[in-house]
Amino acid sequence: MALLQIAEPGFSTAPHQHRLAVGIDLGTTNSLVATVRNGVAVVLNDARGHGLLPSVVRYHKDGSTTVGLSALVQAAEDPHNTLISAKRFMGRGIQDIPDAATMPYQFVDAPGMVQIKTVAGVKSPVEVSAEILKVLKARAEAALGGELVGAVITVPAYFDDAQRQATKDAARVAGLNVLRLLNEPTAAAIAYGLDNAAEGLYAVYDLGGGTFDISILRLTKGVFEVLATNGDSALGGDDFDRRIYCWALDQARIHTLADADKALLMAHAREAKENLSDHGEAHITAVLTTGEVVDLRLSEAIFNEITASLVNKTLLPCRKALRDAGLQAEDVKGVVMVGGSTRIPRIQAAVGEFFGQTPLTNLDPDKVVALGAAIQANVLAGNKSGDDWLLLDVVPLSLGLETMGGLTEKIIPRNATIPTARAQEFTTYKDGQTAMSIHVVQGERELVSDCRSLARFELRGIPPMVAGAARVRVTFQVDADGLLSVMARETGTGIESSIAVKPSYGLTDDEVANMLKDSYAHAQDDMAARNLLEAGVDGRRLLEASEAALAENGGELLTPAERAGIDALMHALRAALAGDDLAAVKRATEALNQGTVEFAARRMDRSVKKALTGHRLDELEV
Amino acid sequence: MSLDFNQNHFDLFGLPHAFALDADKLDKAYRDIQAEIHPDRFAHAGEAEQRLAMQWTTKVNEAYQTLKKPFERARYLLLLNGVDAMDPMNTSMPADFIMAQMEWREALENARAARDGAALETLERTLKARAKEMRELLSELLDERRDYAGASDTLRKLRFMDKLLEEVGAAYESLD
């Protein structure tokens, strides 16, 4: 594994100040957790020394779960209750899963997101992902010896809003504080760039188990600027396995298969793919429950032939990303390969041909994303090392609204640097219209029906006017996690309606709360105690942040009276934290939050001014 | 003494109010400000600071994107001078430009129908050269002559050129 030097030798924060933070790569096939230890990013292993945790969750009758390798190796014994590649179902409806028929699961078409029936009840992909995250959280806390301040969780760059929101919900259900959702190729670029002191234009080609991303980045003096990203959130190594599986069925002339045999043959298909990358040929030998014997030889030539269209499917997004970035393939200085599927020789050759250069494979493609996420988590948690680099990422898919005739009006174009906000004005089309329905969609196509529906909401109470007289201003805001919120406002009367985009493809706060309750009911944890603990963590975090801010420039930016006011609020919060009244802790935290708004604004002004002054000083020196 | 959140984009980056732009200076100012105010710098700060960091970064991103693109920069500069070049009421276009437009569109259609990559390239070169001339004219009109009405007309022409170039790009993709 690559060692990533991110601080000057000898420079490290004192251990007692070090805040425990991790980066988590929640993958389709495997998941990992990494952290920065003594200035070096490392993957945390389980007790047996394994870094990779297979993203497999088996549900048992009593509600308990087995997660990881042991669940994977027993998948054929209990295919209905062993959930593999659940990431493919995150934020997706049943109609989004074309190969559902080849999977041994009983899907339930729930509103918003598909669910899966197991012996332990109906489970959402969010809950399945949360089980994986819980195991990684426990692994990290055992290895680091304390509670985590937070985690950076990676998502495919081409994940849409529903998929991102589902991932964040899963982290909440697992009891993790999400410092940031980070795009996988960007995480890889951080790990690669900081390790190699890279400068210039780079492409990150990331073919994981179930998703494909291509990102084009400009690396300049510690700034990682994503210029364009593209991909396919339903294309990955799994599809290569499935091609082998279908080929094997065809060759062995098998038409119907028991579910246990489906799981068995899929496992053999995957194994054959991996053997092929290492040895140039592979054998598939299996005895089915019917007594039939499958015995096939898969050559590289056949494999390349049956998967050629998949390889080509990754090159189209590469072309689009380059075009969006306004670049030619030859402008790219290096192509970083990420994701286990990039081990396939044919893929390396195709990417090499496309970009006219040998791709970079010197970092472990399975680990580089988690390592990059750990480096980012370390900085976000406030551990100072490596503070002098910055990440500028983008929205992968355009965000817009439905307008007359079922057409899409784009509000935020794809590849806009986040955080970003755009507003657009709309008007009523009927006389006396008092409500306006707002349908939020994501995608590049012109027809709303070809885009993903994210949310619908209504702005009511518009005063009756003639058609075209009302002015409704709709504002889209995308935050640093790439998550969208939408606000609509009738500008004459100030009637307002806002929404964090969730209802049609995400979970409501209540649903998340229920999942949390279920998950802790089983662990026999006391929910009330858990709530108090979490409120306490929030309160202490705010106290710590306020103390640091006051120490830095409280004297300079506050009058003695203002200072005394904030001190009083901090004192009240400390007192509340000493007790066990949840409502009091929340109240005191909120009061301090409110009481420091003006101070925060002055500090921010100061930061902007400092940046500008620094800039002008530089000019004087020239 | 408080910094104005609504200050104009040029002042934000410490740049002169002009179409002519020192791109390196803009890039550097952008990076310097981002380094101070990006939400990643405030992930461990209080809620109020996190929210402000997001608002500021949003504004800085918008300002940067506006100034970076010549078309948006010119449009913004005109708006600062009270001229809305993209006013939907204003659609007048000189006859010779309309003629040229029609010819280019025809060339594009022919090239697309014939799947003629070489013809597309020739057209793209012509369009790019004309667009470049227009940007140079725009610079002169805005920065030297301060002829905002003339600049507004040129900007609308440039908009047509950009759209055509986009269509040429789409035609290239349809060749694949």
Q: Quick one: pLDDT band at residue A187, thresholds 50, 70, 90?
A: very high
Top pLDDT among A271 and B1 is at A271
**Could you say which of B2, B14, B43 has the minimum Cβ distance to residue A605?**
B2
What are the residue boundaries of the structural domains of chain A, listed by start? Answer: 15-235+309-392, 399-509, 526-608
Cβ–Cβ gap A618/B28 under 8 Å = yes
Closest CA to A444 of B173, B57, B54, B58: B173
List, for residues A327-336, the tens digit of each pLDDT value: 999 999 999 9
Task: Find chain A residues with C-beta within 8 A of B171's C-beta.
Answer: none
**pLDDT of A278:** 85
Q: Is the pLDDT of residue A3 over 80?
A: no
Which of the pair, A618 or A544, is modelled with greater confidence? Answer: A544
Catalytic residue among A25, A46, A78, A238: A25
**In this predicted structure, what is the pLDDT of residue A520?**
59
Closest CA to A468 of A430, A424, A425: A430
Please report which confidence band the pLDDT of residue A517 belongs to, taking 50, 70 and 90 as the band edges.
Answer: low
Question: Least CA distance to B55: which residue of chain A?
Answer: A419
> Who has greater pLDDT, A524 or A128?
A128
Q: Tell me the pLDDT band of B91, cut-offs 50, 70 and 90.
A: confident
Q: B38: which residues sit within 8 A by CB, 6+ positions away? A: A390, A391, A392, A480, B53, B57
Lowest mean pLDDT among A467-471, A616-620, B102-106: A616-620
- Report, as an integer, the average pLDDT of A110-123: 90
**Measuring CA to CA, how many Å separate A388 from each of A130, A154, A226, A308, B41?**
33, 21, 17, 43, 10
- Position A1 scores a pLDDT of 40
Asked about A619 being catalytic, the answer comes back as: no
Query: Three-state SS for A118?
Result: strand
A451-479 average pLDDT score: 86
- Is the Cβ pair A596, B48 closer than 8 Å? yes
The confidence score (pLDDT) of residue A11 equals 37
- Report chain A residues whose CB lies below 8 A from the CB of B58: 419-421, 477
| Cα angle, residue A471 at apex, residues A467 and A474 outer, rounded to 5° | 125
In chain A, the percentage of residues whose pLDDT exceeds 90 is: 57
Q: How confident is the model at residue A43 (pLDDT cuts 50, 70, 90)?
A: very high
CA dist A59 and A53 (Å) reads 17
Nearest CA in chain B to A614: B32
Question: What number of other Cβ atoms are within 10 A of residue A27's Cβ?
Answer: 28
Contact A21, A148 (CB under 8 A): yes
Set A78, A127, A131, A206: catalytic member: A206
Interface residue B175 vs chain A (CB under 8 A): no
Contacts of A223 in chain B (CB under 8 A): 31, 34
Tell me how far apart the alpha carbons of residues A12 and A556 are, in angstroms, rounded to a whole number: 29
Interval A315-325: pLDDT, tens: 999 999 998 99
In chain B, which residue's Cα lies nearest the Cα of A482?
B54
The ranges of chain B annotated as CATH 1.20.1280.20 are 95-175
Compute the average pLDDT of residues A589-613: 86
Chain B interface, best mutation among A153, A487, A607, A622, by max B CB count within 10 A: A607
- Please compute the mean of the pLDDT values over residues A567-583 and round it to a whole number: 91
Name the closest residue on chain B to residue A219, using Cα atoms.
B31
Query: Using alpha carbons only, what angle is made at residue B88 by residues B82 and B91, rounded to the nearest 5 degrees?
Result: 100
Q: Which overall architecture, per CATH, does domain B95-175 show?
A: Up-down Bundle (1.20)
Q: What is the CATH number of domain B9-68?
A: 1.10.287.110
Query: How confident is the model at residue A122, as a pLDDT?
Result: 92
Chain-chain contact of A479 with B64 (C-beta, under 8 angstroms): no
pLDDT at residue A26 greater than cutoff 90: yes
Rounded to an integer, the average pLDDT of A460-468 is 84
Residue window 14-43, chain B: list those with CB within 8 Å of chain A: 14, 25, 27-29, 31-40, 43
d(CA A274, CA B81): 64
Locate A432 and state its tokens.
Answer: 């006396």
Q: Using the beta-carbon criterion (under 8 Å), do B61 and A610 form an inter-chain contact?
A: no
Query: Which of A484, A612, A620, A621 to mutate: most B Cβ within 10 Å?
Result: A612
Q: Terminus-to-terminus CA distance in chain B, angstroms? A: 58
- CATH 4.10.780.10: does it fit domain A399-509? no
Model confidence over B119-163: pLDDT tens digits? 999 999 999 999 999 999 999 999 999 999 999 999 999 999 989
**pLDDT surpassing 90 at residue B6:** no
What interface predicted TM-score (ipTM) does this complex get? Answer: 0.84
Q: Catalytic: which of A87, A168, A273, A367?
A: A87
B169–chain A Cβ distance below 8 A for any pair: yes
Lowest mean pLDDT among A369-373, A427-431, B13-17: A427-431
- Which residues make Cβ contacts (< 8 Å) with residue A531, sequence separation at least 6? A582
Q: Which CATH architecture has domain A526-608?
A: Up-down Bundle (1.20)
* Catalytic (active site) residue A184: yes
Contact state of A601 with B48 under an 8 Å Cβ cutoff: yes
- Are A19 and B44 an interchain contact pair (Cβ–Cβ within 8 Å)? yes
Task: Please say if A534 is a catalytic residue.
Answer: no
Distance in Å, alpha carbon of A421 to nearest chain B alpha carbon: 6
Out of A78, A184, A195, A239, pick the active-site residue: A184
Do the chains contact at B64 and A417, CB–CB below 8 Å?
A: yes
Whether A272 contacts A283, CB under 8 Å? yes
- Dist CA A414 CA A416 (whole Å): 6
What confidence tier does A10 reach under pLDDT thresholds 50, 70, 90? Answer: very low
Least CB–CB distance from A604: residue in B44, B52, B62: B52
Shortest Cα distance, chain B CAs vs residue A160, angstroms: 20
* A89 close to A125: Cβ distance less than 8 angstroms: yes
Confidence of residue A12 (pLDDT cuts 50, 70, 90): very low
Nearest to B31 among A223, A545, A597 (CB): A223
Could you tell me which of A304, A210, A286 has the C-alpha nearest to residue A249? Answer: A286
Which pLDDT value is given to residue A616?
52
Residue A528: pLDDT above 80?
A: no
- Asked if the Cβ–Cβ distance from A480 to B57 is below 8 Å, we say yes
Nearest to B28 among A149, A608, A615 (CB): A615
Cα(A273)–Cα(A417) distance, integer angstroms: 38
Are residues A284 and A266 in contact, defined by beta-carbon separation less than 8 angstroms?
Answer: no
Answer yes or no: do B33 and A416 touch at CB < 8 A.
Answer: no
Position A607 pLDDT exceeds 50: yes
Nearest chain A residue to B5, by CA: A605
Residues A97 and A107: beta-carbon distance below 8 Å? yes
Under a CB-based contact definition with an 8 Å cutoff, are residues A433 and A492 in contact?
no
Q: Nearest CA to A502 among A124, A174, A168, A97?
A: A168
Q: Are A440 and A421 in contact (CB under 8 A)?
A: no
User: pLDDT by residue (tens digit) across B22-77?
Assistant: 999 999 999 888 988 899 988 888 888 898 999 999 999 999 999 999 999 999 99
- Which band of pLDDT confidence, cut at 50, 70 and 90, is reported for residue A509? low
CA dist A99 and A195 (Å) reads: 40
- Closest CA–CA distance from residue B49 to any residue of chain A (Å): 5
Whether A503 shows a pLDDT value over 70: the answer reads no
Active-site residue, A87 included: yes
For chain A, what is the mean pLDDT? Answer: 87
Residue B43: closest C-alpha in chain A: A380
Res A536 pLDDT > 90 = no
Three-class secondary structure assignment of A458-510: EECCCCCCCCCCCCEEEEEEECCCCCEEEEEEECCCCCEEEEECCCCCCCCHH
Which residues does chain B have within 8 Å of residue A597's beta carbon, measured at their own beta carbons?
Answer: 48
Question: Which chain B residues contact residue A19 at CB under 8 A?
Answer: 44
CB within 8 Å: B49 and A546: no
pLDDT at position A6: 42
Determine the distance in angstroms separating the CA of A221 from the nearest CA of chain B, rounded to an integer: 10
pLDDT-based confidence at A615, cuts 50/70/90?
low
Share of chain B above pLDDT 90, in %: 60
pLDDT for position A36 = 94
Residue written as token pair 């490392």: A42
The answer to whether residue B8 neighbours chain A at the CB level (below 8 Å) is no
Structure token digits, residue B80: 């600062």
pLDDT digits (tens, 9 = 90+) for A65-100: 999 999 999 988 899 999 999 999 999 988 888 888
Mind listing the pLDDT tens digit for each residue in A261-311? 888 898 899 999 999 988 888 999 998 888 888 999 999 999 999 999 999
pLDDT at residue number A614:
61
Q: Chain A closest CA to B56's CA: distance in Å?
A: 8
Residues on chain B touching A416 (C-beta within 8 angstroms): 61, 65
Q: Which CATH superfamily is domain A15-235+309-392 in?
A: ATPase, nucleotide binding domain (3.30.420.40)
For chain B, residues classed under CATH 1.10.287.110 are: 9-68
The pLDDT value recorded for residue B4 is: 60
pTM of full prediction above 0.90: no
Is the pLDDT score of A259 beyond 70? yes
* pLDDT at residue B1 is higher than 80: no
